[in-house]
Structure 1
Amino acid sequence: MAINVIEQSLAAAPLRKGSVRSQVLGLLREAILSGKLKPGDQIREAHLARALQVSQATVREALLQLEHAGLVVRTPNRSTVVTRLTREEVQERVQLRVLLEGVAAVAAAQRMREEDFAALADRLADIHRALERDVYLDYVSADLNFHRLIWEMSGNKTLCRVLELIAVPMFAYLTILRSRRFTNLAAKVHSHDPILQAMRSRNPEAIREAFTQHLEGSYRHFDEVAASAGTAPNATGAY
């Protein structure tokens, strides 16, 4: 669907009284998650502001929040596009996550008390509940929350920020590409269980191995979701 058509459809949704920025944010998020705006589509700030009859500053603030959520990215020429990752980019991010999440998890395990492990178990239960409900968006959200808690428990704020930059766009892109046709979600969900078990053991080698196995499975999961959404890699390896 052409971008100008998207802008027209967004403009057709009247803005109510209240926070204009939050409404613009909601309209854009819905357009991305519903597929009206597709991976790689450019969002033209000035055009959208005119279509919605709001200031460019309002649109810019909404886009900044979407960028923090990993749903859009700023390109070198300062345009904004819906997040789109190539196979190579995903491989690079997975490799970094294997190294850095292993470091974070080993550090977290040494710091965590029983109530912290209970909180992580609750996050894991949220992932399993999403599987039972068969709601893919809930699964991705619960998955990210599980990993975020581990990062935070490491006590390393710099490491948390780096992992946010590396991992959040992956979770966001999976959300954009979500597909109810994905049939192996149970295996992906259950790959989180060994992480909690390894962290409870506080054994660094076991923790690193659990993350390696889990994240390698994440890359296969990404490929399957991308294929089922009709964005499988072409001959050049790009989506």
Structure 2
Amino acid sequence: MTNRLAPIKLDSYQPLREVVCESLREAIRNGVLKPGERIMEIQLAEELGVSRTPVREAIRKLELEGYVVMMPRRGTYVASMSIRDINEIFEIRTALESLSNGLAADHITDDELEHLQRLLVIIGGYIKEGNIEKIVETDIEFHDLMYHAARNERLVGIISNLRDQLTRFRTLSMSYPGRLEETLDEHRLIVEAIANGDRKAASKAAERHMENSEKTLLKAMEALEREKKSKAKKAKK
């Protein structure tokens, strides 16, 4: 059997079940464990070098987060993401991002605002370099900072969970032609509204950003599907 997952390092301060959960979560996000693929506890435990118990506990948590589905008498599978799922997630997330940004306009500190502005410059530099990995990493930091500026921890947890469910598509969406520059402009409008303490404008800017993000993701998915069908046709010839 070829291992796809790296063995767990047992020197972490976190509980083993949390380390295993994060490892499996990343494997799903990065497409190592693919949508629709069956999850086998024994195989995962062997690959990670742990017992089945922390794997079982991690799978239960991932089910609550929407990463896997447990089907009676059929087993556990990596959750597939339908267009309807994406629509529903964005519908909820748009409302929550609007609320979060509005609250951030009321509560953000000068240091946090300066940090947001600095991150915009950093992201702009990575866009020029074409460094997608760093863009994604810094974009996550940017949004996390805005969420925490809202000063509502429950809201942060809910939004983060919804965002995590779409993380596997982040690179696909950002790689769509022109989207990186559009995203940066949308982020600038958000930061400008928050800096002005304009709650209404910050909420509206968040809504536009989410709407455009959803449209771009769906376009990117359609393009990817066309590419797959084209390659399949060529392979048959």
TM-score under structure 1 normalisation? Answer: 0.73
Pick closer, same or farther for the CA change 1:130–1:61 going to 2, 3 Å: farther
1:99 aligns to 2:95 (yes or no) = yes
Select which of 215, 221, 226 maps to 2:221. 226
Q: CA deviation at 1:211?
A: 0.9
Q: CA deviation at 1:158?
A: 1.2
Is the partner of 2:2 in helix, strand or coil? helix
**What amino acid is the match of 2:203?**
R
Pick closer, same or farther for the CA change 1:104–1:29 going to 2, 3 Å: closer
Q: CA deviation at 1:130?
A: 3.1
**Maintained 8 Å contact 1:106/1:204:** yes
CA RMSD of aligned residues (A): 3.6
Q: CA deviation at 1:216?
A: 0.7
**Maintained 8 Å contact 1:140/1:174:** no
**Maintained 8 Å contact 1:83/1:173:** no
Pick closer, same or farther for the CA change 1:33–1:97 going to 2, 3 Å: closer
Is the partner of 2:190 in helix, strand or coil? helix
Deviations 1:105-145 (Å, cap 9, x if unpaired)? Answer: 11111112221200112333343233223232332232222
**What amino acid is the match of 1:221?**
T
1:9 aligns to 2:2 (yes or no) = yes
Between the two proteins, what is the percent identity of the paired residues?
23
**Maintained 8 Å contact 2:44/2:55:** yes
1:212 aligns to 2:207 (yes or no) = yes
**Maintained 8 Å contact 2:45/2:51:** yes
Instruction: Look up the match of 1:122.
Output: 118
1:152 aligns to 2:142 (yes or no) = no
1:16 and 1:102 map into 2 onto residues whose CA distance is 38
**Maintained 8 Å contact 2:8/2:49:** no
**Maintained 8 Å contact 1:84/1:173:** no
Q: CA deviation at 1:181?
A: 5.8
Is the partner of 2:222 in helix, strand or coil? helix
**Maintained 8 Å contact 2:116/2:145:** yes
Q: CA deviation at 1:182?
A: 2.6
TM-score under structure 2 normalisation? Answer: 0.74
**Maintained 8 Å contact 1:15/1:23:** no
2:99 and 2:175 map into 1 onto residues whose CA distance is 34
Query: How do 1:175-214 and structure 2 match up within 5 A?
Result: 175=170, 178=172, 182-184=176-178, 185-214=180-209
1:108 and 1:157 map into 2 onto residues whose CA distance is 12
Instruction: Look up the match of 1:87.
Output: 83
Query: How do 1:8-87 and structure 2 match up within 5 A?
Result: 8-10=1-3, 15=7, 19=11, 32=28, 35-50=31-46, 54-60=50-56, 67=62, 73-77=67-71, 80-87=76-83
Structure 1 stretch 185-194 or stretch 14-23: which is displaced more? 14-23
**Maintained 8 Å contact 1:49/1:56:** yes
**Maintained 8 Å contact 1:136/1:178:** no
Which runs of 5 or more structure 1 residues have no equivalent in the other structure?
A: 1-7, 235-239
Instruction: Look up the match of 1:140.
Output: 136
Is the partner of 1:230 in helix, strand or coil? helix
